[in-house]
């Protein structure tokens, strides 16, 4: 603690920090990380941590809150590179309006770091496919997302803005693993450059033009004609016969 600078302690405590009943609130300060003074001076006593409305993009120091049960990081800049420490006491995680895109990767991290998680909210992230994050998504996309998350986080009681029903959990157990919504692969620059303008204008239709009234087929003539005694007629009609 003697390594903490007085300026750091002063800045954190100038009306921005609130501590009450094991809850620490430090919001709207535009910090990009968890100030060291928070976890060094208060970490062991805090069970509820609210760092909403900042610019937090890494959570180094979170491991200092050893007894943490609730973590709120709404409206920050947490992305797919986030690394969570192992926190078996944590039951509530709120990450609304961040920059989480890869759902499968994120859920695996959560599963390993927070084995007793019961409440999770991801509204406003690309990984949560609803109209808040993507106007092209619909209710079916969101339901598939819920099945996928619940399949992996079996202790969840509440996901986003709705509680988890027993029936929903049963459905998730059966088909949740198949419900990940995959994004189409973007072509690489090399793949785009391989094609000329003529390739993009490709059409399977023949280029030969016909005049009005010429109804002949577009395919080449067939060489053989069925002519034996038991023939029921010519089985193949040539283009020139049309």
User: 77 is written with which tokens?
Assistant: 């800049």
Alpha helices in 67-196 (DSSP H): 103-113, 139-152, 166-175, 189-194
In a domain, 185, yes or no: no
Q: HSE-up of 240 (CA within 13 Å, CB side)?
A: 3
174, 168 Cβ separation under 8 angstroms:
no
Is residue 186 a part of any domain in this protein? no
Look up residue 71 and give its two tokens. 């973590």
Considering the domain boundaries, does residue 68 fall inside one? yes
Q: How much is the pLDDT for 138? A: 76
**pLDDT for position 228:** 55
Residue 115's domain comprises 6-178
Output the pTM of the full model.
0.69
For residue 1, the model assigns a pLDDT of 45
Residue 211 lies in a domain: no
Q: Is residue 212 part of a domain?
A: no
Q: Domain tally for the chain?
A: 1
Max Cα–Cα distance, the chain, nearest Å: 110
Query: Nearest to residue 87, comparing CAs of 115, 58, 118?
Result: 115
One digit per residue, the tens of pLDDT, for the chain of length 242 reads: 445 444 455 555 555 789 999 999 999 999 999 999 999 999 999 999 999 999 999 999 999 999 999 999 999 999 999 999 999 999 999 999 999 999 999 999 999 999 999 999 999 999 999 766 667 777 888 999 999 999 999 999 999 989 999 999 999 888 766 666 555 455 555 555 555 555 555 555 555 555 656 555 544 554 555 555 555 555 555 555 55
Q: How far apart are CA 73 and CA 59, in angstroms?
A: 10
Q: Using CA atoms, how far apart are residues 201 and 189, in angstroms rounded to an integer?
A: 19
CA distances to 13, 67, 132 from 175, rounded to whole Å, are: 49, 35, 25
Taking the C-alpha atoms of residue 97 and residue 104, their distance in angstroms, rounded to an integer, is 18
CA–CA distance from 138 to each of 74, 197, 219, 231 (Å)? 23, 36, 46, 60
Check if the beta carbon of residue 26 is closer than 8 Å to that of residue 17.
yes
Q: With respect to residue 205, please indicate whether it lies within any of the assigned structural domains.
A: no
Inside any domain, residue 34: yes
CATH number, domain of 79, equals 3.80.10.10
Residue 241 lies in a domain: no
């Amino acid at each position: 603690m003697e390594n903490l600078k007085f300026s750091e302690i002063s800045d954190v405590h100038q009306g921005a920090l609130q501590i009450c009943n094991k809850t620490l609130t430090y919001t709207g300060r535009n910090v990009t990380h968890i100030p060291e003074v928070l976890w060094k001076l208060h970490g062991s006593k805090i069970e509820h941590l609210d760092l909403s409305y900042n610019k937090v993009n890494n959570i180094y120091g979170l491991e200092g809150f050893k007894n943490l049960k609730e973590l709120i990081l709404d409206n920050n800049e947490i992305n797919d590179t986030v690394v969570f420490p192992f926190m078996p006491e944590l039951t509530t995680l709120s990450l609304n309006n961040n920059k989480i895109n890869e759902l499968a990767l994120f859920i695996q991290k959560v599963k390993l770091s927070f084995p007793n998680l019961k409440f999770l909210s991801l509204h406003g992230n690309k990984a949560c496919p609803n109209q808040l994050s993507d106007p092209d998504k619909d209710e079916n996309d969101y339901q598939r997302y819920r099945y996928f998350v619940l399949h992996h986080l079996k202790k969840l009681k509440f996901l986003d803005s709705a509680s988890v029903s027993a029936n929903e959990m049963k459905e998730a157990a059966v088909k949740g693993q198949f419900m990940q919504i995959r994004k189409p692969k973007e072509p690489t620059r090399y793949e785009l450059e391989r094609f000329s303008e003529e390739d993009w204008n490709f059409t399977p239709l023949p280029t030969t033009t016909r005049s009005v009234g010429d109804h002949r087929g577009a395919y080449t003539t067939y060489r053989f004609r069925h002519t034996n005694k038991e023939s029921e007629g010519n089985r193949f009609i040539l283009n020139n016969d049309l």
